[in-house]
Amino acid sequence: MNPYPVVVRTRLTPPRSNRRILHRPRLAGALAEALDYRVTLLQAGAGYGKTTALASAAGLGHPLAWYQLDSDSADPLVFLLHLLHGLRQALPDLSEAPLARLDTWNQAGAQGPPPWPSAVDLLVNALDVPDSQPLLLALDDAHVLNGHAQTLDILDRFIDRAPDSVHFLLATRYPLEIPGLARWQARGEVLTLDQRHLAFQPDEIATLFAQNYDLQLSRAEVQQIATETEGWAIAVQLVWQGLRARQATARAGTPSNADRTLLTPDSLFGFLAQEVVNQQPQPARAFLRDTAVLRELSPEVCDCLRGSDDSAALLRHLLDNGLFTVDLGGGHARYHHLFHEFLAQQLSIEEARAGHRRAADCYERLDDREAALHHRLAAGQYHEAASLLAALGRSLVRAGQLDTLAAWIDRLPPETLQSHPALLVYLGDIARLHSRFEEALGWYRQAEAIARQRGEMDRLGQALRGQARVYLDTV
C-alpha cells in the first residue's frame, strides 16, 4: 500500500470565534439565503472578512463541513481526501464507500486511471438519503483551484450531482473557473455575495467599536473611518489598533504624527499595520519578524525557528490581542493573509532566505519533508530541494499526487534537473500516467543519458523501466 497524503485536521475546522467578531444581522440575513441555493459565492479581495462570514454559517443550525484550502489542495487526491474527511467530520455516519474506493486504487499501486469520478459518485449516493437535513459545505480560499482542471472537474461533478440538501459555500478572491458555474447561474442556483455585502457600513462600524472594542466614536469619526477604509474589514480592525495605540501614546504624553486623511485603502493597510506592530512589546515584535516566513504557526516550530521556548505564550498574546492571527485550534495558528504578506515585505531578500533556511532545518528535524521542501525552494536552496524531492517523489507518484510533484519540479531551475536524473524519471512518470507517451520517452531518455554519465545505476534502472512501461502501455 502506498502512502497517502497527510490529512491536515486543522484545515477541516472553522477558525474559532472571539469576542471582537461582530454579529452583523445584515450579512447574516444574506447568508441565510444560502439554504435556497445550490452554490453561494463569497467573492471579494483579501481582508474583507470572507473567512469570518463563512464560519458564521455554523449559526444557521445545520451541519457545517469545513475545508480551508491552500496551494497543496490543487492536487486532486489531496483535495478529495480532505473533502471526504471534512464531510465525515460533519456527518460521522456518512458511508466510508468513497474512501474505500480510493483505498482499493491505492492498494493496487495507484495503477490505472485515478478513481476520482467514481469516488465522487459514491459520495453523492452516500449523501442522498431520505429526509436528510440541509448540509453546508464551506470551501475557503477556493480560488487556489483555478488553473487545475482535474481538481475543478472533481468539484464540478460533485456540485452538479449532489442532492438538493447539500449547499456549497465557496469563498474566493477571484472568479472561479468551475466548468458548470455559468450553467448554474443561468438556472438561478447561485447566490453571489461580493464586496458590497461584506464591507462594513457606518452603523456596523459604530456598533463594532462600541460593543466589541469598547470605544465610543462620534458620528464624524465613524463617517471618517467608513470613508477612508471603504468598509474594508481588516482596515477597520487596523484603525481600532491604531486608535488604541494613539490613546496609549497620548497617555504617555507623546504626540502622534499619524495622519491618515490622504491614504488610500491599500496604502492604509501598510501604514496602520506598521503603526500597530511598532506599538507591540519588543518580544512580540521580534516574534512577528522571526516567524514571518511560516505558513502555519505552532509553538514547536516557532521555538525551533527562534531558538527559544516562549512561543506558546507569544502566540497566545497575538491571539488575545486581535493581532491578525487566526486560531486554527490545537495550539496552531496562522497570520491573516494580508498581514502575512505585510510581515514578509518587511524582510530583506537575504533575511527572508535565511528565515526559510532555518524553517527548512526545523521541519527536517520534525520529519515534515513537504514543509521542508517548501522552505528550501523559498530559500533558493535548489540542490537541497532537489535532493528532498528525489527522496519524496516516488511516494508522490505512487499516491497519485502527480500535480503536486509536477508543480514542485517546475519551481526548480533547468540546470538543477540535469544533476538529478531521478527528477527526470518522475517527469517521465507524470507524462506516462497522463498518457503523453512521446513526452514520457523524452524524459526517460534524458534521465538514462545523465544516469549513465554519472554512474548512477539505480536511476539508470528506473529510466529503463520507465521506457519499458511506455512500450507496454502502447502495445
pLDDT tens, residue by residue, 452-464: 999 999 999 999 9
How far is 427 from 349, CA to CA, in rounded Å?
31
Whether the pLDDT of residue 217 is over 60: the answer is: yes
Q: What is the mean pLDDT of residues 323-349?
A: 88
Three-state SS at 346? coil
Within 13 A of 284's CA, how many CA atoms are on the CB side? 18
In the block, which residue shows the cell 465525515? 88
Q: What is the pTM of this model?
A: 0.75
From residue 193, alpha-carbon distances to 31, 42, 472 in Å are 8, 5, 52
- Of residues 20 and 238, the one with the higher pLDDT is 238
Residues in the chain: 475
| b/e per residue 228-255 (b: at least 16 CB within 10 A) | bbebbbbbbbbbbbbbbbbeeeeeeeee
Contact 4, 399 (CB under 8 A): yes
Whether the pLDDT of residue 189 is over 60: the answer is: yes
Q: What is the mean pLDDT of residues 74-103?
A: 95
List the single range of 130-139, 233-242, 306-315 with lowest mean pLDDT. Answer: 233-242
Whether the pLDDT of residue 414 is over 60: the answer is: yes
Q: Residue 38: which pLDDT band, with cuts at 50, 70 and 90?
A: very high
User: Per the structure block, which three cell numbers stand in for 299?
Assistant: 509553538
How far is 461 from 448, CA to CA, in rounded Å?
8
Average predicted confidence (pLDDT) for the chain: 89
- Of residues 327 and 285, the one with the higher pLDDT is 285
Q: Residue 181: which pLDDT band, with cuts at 50, 70 and 90?
A: very high
Helices (H), 40-96: 50-55, 76-90
Radius of gyration of the chain (CA): 25
Q: What is the mean pLDDT of residues 308-331?
A: 87
Name the residue type at position 292: A
Q: Residue 258: which pLDDT band, with cuts at 50, 70 and 90?
A: very low
Q: What is the mean pLDDT of residues 262-290?
A: 77
From residue 330, alpha-carbon distances to 252, 402, 416 in Å are 38, 30, 39
Whether the pLDDT of residue 263 is over 50: the answer is: no
List the single range of 58-67, 251-260, 326-335, 386-395 with lowest mean pLDDT. Answer: 251-260
- Of residues 211 and 286, the one with the higher pLDDT is 286
List the single range of 193-197, 257-261, 284-288, 396-400 with lowest mean pLDDT. Answer: 257-261
How far is 198 from 44, CA to CA, in rounded Å?
8
pLDDT the model gives residue 373: 96
CATH number of 282-346: 1.10.10
Q: What is the mean pLDDT of residues 218-234?
A: 86
pLDDT the model gives residue 149: 94
pLDDT the model gives residue 313: 94
Q: What is the mean pLDDT of residues 64-91?
A: 96
Q: Given this structure, which CATH class describes domain 9-198?
A: alpha beta
pLDDT the model gives residue 176: 96
How far is 76 from 436, CA to CA, in rounded Å?
19
How far is 225 from 5, CA to CA, in rounded Å?
45
pLDDT the model gives residue 254: 41
Q: Residue 121: which pLDDT band, with cuts at 50, 70 and 90?
A: very high
Classify residue 305 by burial, with Cβ atoms within 10 Å: 0-12, 13-18, 19+. buried
